[in-house]
Chain A
Amino acid sequence: MDIELMLKVYPFFLKAAWITILLSVLTAGLGLICGILGASARLSRFSIVRFLGAAYVSVFRGTPALIQLFILYFGGPQIGIQLDAFEAGVIGLGINAGAYMTETIRGGIISIDRGQREAARTLGLSRWQTTYKVILPQAARLLVRPLGVNLNMLIKATALVAAISVIELTYTAQRYIGSTYKPFEMFLLAGVLYMIIIYATGRGVAWLDRKVRIN
């Protein structure tokens, strides 16, 4: 193992790891927004809106994220959407993650007992009051763990933007493999950083899950 080489290049990996983290945070934020909108659409009382929500989930979960990214980044200019690689990465992955989160959030909401909604409506609360006072606070607690799984997948999915040349961890590893012919060393550097990010996120999710479960 070429430790010397690893020591020489690791600052570049560290810098790339920050890009991966930034990508993950932005993607997760956009994904969550899309997920909330998607779940609201899936649960709407208008059948056309429900259909649109279902179509969003089906199409974005039914095709590779990589292709979605390519359509946005390479095909976007043809329909007047000019994005740099990083922007395309965040938007493409965010919308993709949102489709998965839609199903997670919807699952959490419909798992709340029907009696909860009925009890709230019986007291005279409106649909919206019922949703944000009674349903969402309960669903949010149930959602920490499954959304944590979505987050874990999303962090790993940020590697896809290497294919549109965003200089994050996987791209950096790929470039140094190409220039040094030391795949194991480069994999080790990138892999350890990924695992640290994933592990830290996992601990954060577990902590949050415990915290919301206490009451």
Chain B
Amino acid sequence: MGLDFSIVPDYLDIILLGVAWTIGITVASALLSFVGGIFFAVIALYSPWIIRQPFRLIEWVFMGTPLLLQLFLIYFGLVQIGIDLPAFVAGIIGLGLHFAVYNSELIQTAILAVDKGQMEAARTLGLSRGEALRKVVVPQAVNAVIPPIGNNMIALLKDSALVSVIGVSELTLSAQRVIGKTYRPFEFYLVAAAFYYVINLCMEWVQRKIERRIAVSR
């Protein structure tokens, strides 16, 4: 059949719309994953045993099963219990929760890694436990956690392709739609890959900028 990229421009509008959706879904899921990650981490570190355990189970399930399977569960499961959400919302919830669990792991490690002496020093100065956490421990943990969370967000971008399977019209599904019309899978998947790659490079660039900033403040 051979390759023919000359028809690509004719369908670029559909692809670009997909790019916009992919960026939107990635940003929304990323925000959810930050908030959720902090929430899960606080529960894991500072809540009583009885509350902690169910969350550990959730964490365990999210880390032990594939994201795609989780997306199916959330999409079809919500319908089953009578909540009929648009596919893209289910996708954002699925991606957001999945990465919230991974972010939570990072946040916990970062908080625990802040030297005990820091807390002790702050308490010696007369700060309360809460104040010491807010003023001394958290700022240091934030610096430690930003680079690995950046990696998670880059992974999230790529995993956002999975929501095409539950029918969200992001970049991958847009490419699929165009392919349905043109029967040119190689060309259009390659175009989609190129867009992902460019977004990915932009994210890596931002990540490096931020990391350099942090390196100075440490």
Separation in Å of the A66 CB from the closest CB of chain B?
Answer: 5
State A158–B65 Cα separation when bound (angstroms): 11
State the total of A-B contacts with C-beta under 8 angstroms: 120
Tally chain A residues at the interface, Cβ within 8 Å: 39
A215 within 8 Å of B (CB atoms):
no
A199 within 8 Å of B (CB atoms):
yes
Which range holds the interface residue count of chain B? Answer: 35 or more
Contact between A194 and B64, CB atoms less than 8 A apart: yes
Chain A positions within 8 Å of B103 at CB level: none
Q: Give residues of chain B (70-89) contacting chain A, Cβ–Cβ below 8 Å.
A: 72-73, 76-77, 79-80
- Please encode chain B, from 56 to 73, with 1 for each CB lying within 8 Å of some chain A CB and 0 for all others: 000011001111110011
Instruction: Give the nearest-CB partner of B179 in chain A.
Output: A74
Q: 8 new A-B pairs (CB below 8 Å) besides A159-B66, A163-B68, A184-B77?
A: A62-B197, A158-B66, A160-B162, A170-B69, A173-B72, A187-B69, A190-B69, A195-B65
Contact between B72 and A63, CB atoms less than 8 A apart: no
Instruction: Give the nearest-CB partner of B161 in chain A.
Output: A64
B11 within 8 Å of A (CB atoms):
no
Question: 28 A-B Cβ contacts within 8 A?
Answer: A62-B158, A62-B196, A64-B162, A64-B193, A64-B196, A66-B161, A66-B172, A67-B192, A70-B172, A70-B176, A75-B189, A76-B186, A78-B2, A78-B3, A156-B65, A156-B66, A156-B67, A159-B69, A170-B66, A174-B72, A181-B76, A183-B77, A183-B80, A191-B65, A191-B73, A194-B66, A195-B60, A198-B65
Chain B positions within 8 Å of A65 at CB level: 158
Contact between B68 and A70, CB atoms less than 8 A apart: no
Most B Cβ at <10 Å: residue of A62, A78, A157? A62
Separation in Å of the A58 CB from the closest CB of chain B?
Answer: 8
